[in-house]
Chain A
Amino acid sequence: MTFLQTLKMKAGFGTDGLTKRKTVTFGDTSAVADGRMWSILSVFVLSVAWYMGSALELVNPIFWPAPSAVWEQFTYISQEGYRNFSLWEHIWASLYRILVGFALGCLIGIPLGFAMGLSQLMRGWFDPIVEFFRPIPPLAFIPLVIIWSGIGERSKILLLFFAALWIMVIAARAGVGSVKLSKIHAAYSLGATRKQILYYVILPNSLPEIFTGMRVAMGICWGTVVAAELVAAESGVGFMIMAASKFLATDIVVLGVIIVGLIGYAIDILMRKLEAKLIPWKGKA
């Protein structure tokens, strides 16, 4: 490869030898490189547009602040905190709620999904419950949850648990359903017991589906926690946004929004990395 080609590959245009020889690329998704250079460019263009927009005073800073104002708020809040808590405490408050709610959702949802995939009684019993609650947005339960357990940690964790639960139930059930009968038969013929088949065959076989479910659940939880904090909380990134909006402090609002986006993005990248490491066989069976 020439230097230029290497550079292009690194930049995410992916013209490796094979792709270059392909005459059909429209519709062949494997021939579509990730175009990292375009990503960088798009972020750059948007940033410049934002900067120019505020420098030329095209928008009222009350509606949309200048990047410098957001940056100033960031440096200030990260040193001085906001409303009794440091910036990191706000971020951690949101993250903590998600992690606990998400973990509980997995802890209950995965075994429940397995049971529903493996037993007629469990499937029949829980099917109407799962199918009824699944389409309801978790935020619809906020009023109830607040009545039950106030605006403390418990109400938000309960809400996130709800958000993650149904997704994980369905993912685990799909995972059980994806196991090839010949694998189960082979395991029985090799003398495995039911318990061993569950642990050594069904569980690992359903990991790809479970992981996909976890990624979806994480996304939903992150969105739900911010929304829940908007309604009722004393800390958290959502609370920051809400409190700032009452004083028309759009710079803090936008700072909050950026933090939410960045952390959500980071979580998904992390989970994708983890997936590649834990389930190297995914898509190769």
Chain B
Amino acid sequence: MSDLVVNDVSMVFETPTGEQVHALHDVSFSLKQGELLSILGPSGCGKSTLLNIIAGFLAPTKGTVSLASTELHGPGSDRGMVFQQGALFEWMTVAENIAFGPQMKGTPKAEIDATVNHLLETVGLQDFGDKPIYELSGGMQQRVALARCLANDPDVILMDEPLGALDALTREKMQSLVLKLWKETGKTIILITHSVEEALFLGEKLFVMAPRPGRIKKQYSLPFADAGLTQNPREIKASPDFIKTREEILSMIWEMEEEIMGLAATGTGG
């Protein structure tokens, strides 16, 4: 199976002024095929950096990332990426965007058409295939981004705040869609979010990261994602277990944020 293994990864950025930023320090974890991991943490704790390293856009200063026991160097179509917004190609229609991956590989047209039609239906955009991207709402655009990623059939899907720009209601609908797609496709998913509720609801596993240096502060194994497939999301989010864990994580993040603020305040004051 295609397990994802992150081994001892550190990342030190050097700013133009020669300052060193320890964005990640000795981060290690592994994900089995089909696991859904959500990552939370205060701003600047290295979440995006970690995702970019796994995607292959950044080379870590130390450590390795491997997929199915093969060490990874550089980006590849085995890892799909869903960005917050603006990564769709405006000069293409919805269908052309979704078809992009298979087309680059030279997949036969009939096969591409079948995939695209199937995915359009899966994300509920069957009537929008011929529409240009800029005529779609933000929520619809993110559904296209998901479909485009799935069309390529990657082993791992990496999402960096994919629902961050959406309104609350659209966001909840999209969460259910992500769950559904996760179950149907059996993909390994890593999802970065700033919403504790979203991280709890979607993640089978959840990491809370801490900054300076960026590291995994606490790991959770959660039951809510599985439940979310059958039960009403609103009920799950209102259950005592859910609320208890949510509050625990919230206060942990608050503490970290306060520490950062305090540091910043003394930093500027002194």
Contact = CB atoms under 8 A, between A and B. Distances in A.
Contacts of B91: 204-205, 207, 279, 281
A183 B104 contact: no
Interface stretch (A30-38, A93-101, A186-194): A186-194
Given A281-B132, A281-B134, A190 B55 contact: no
B134 A189 contact: no
A185 B152 contact: no
A191 B90 CA distance: 19
Interface in A251-285: 279-281, 284-285
A186 B83 contact: yes
A192 B103 CA distance: 9
B105 interface: yes
A281 B57 CA distance: 28
A188 B75 contact: yes
A11 to B, nearest CB: 30
B104 A204 contact: no
Interface in B55-84: 55-57, 75-77, 79-81, 83
Given A189-B81, A204-B89, A285 B104 contact: no
Given A190-B148, A193-B104, A185 B86 contact: no
Max count, chain B CB within 10 A of own CB: residue among A185, A191, A200, A281: A191
A180 interface: yes
Contacts of A284: 90, 134
A183 B89 contact: yes
Interface residues of A, number: 23
Interface of A is mostly: helix
A186 B100 CA distance: 10
B100 A190 contact: yes
B14 to A, nearest CB: 19
A190 B87 contact: no
Max count, chain B CB within 10 A of own CB: residue among A188, A190, A205: A190
A160 B56 CA distance: 46
A180 B104 CA distance: 20
A68 to B, nearest CB: 52
Interface of A: 180, 182-183, 185-193, 196, 200-201, 204-205, 207, 279-281, 284-285
Interface of B: 55-57, 75-77, 79-81, 83, 86-91, 100-101, 104-105, 132-134, 148-149, 152, 154
11 contacts: A180-B87, A183-B89, A185-B75, A186-B81, A186-B83, A190-B149, A190-B152, A192-B104, A196-B104, A200-B104, A281-B132
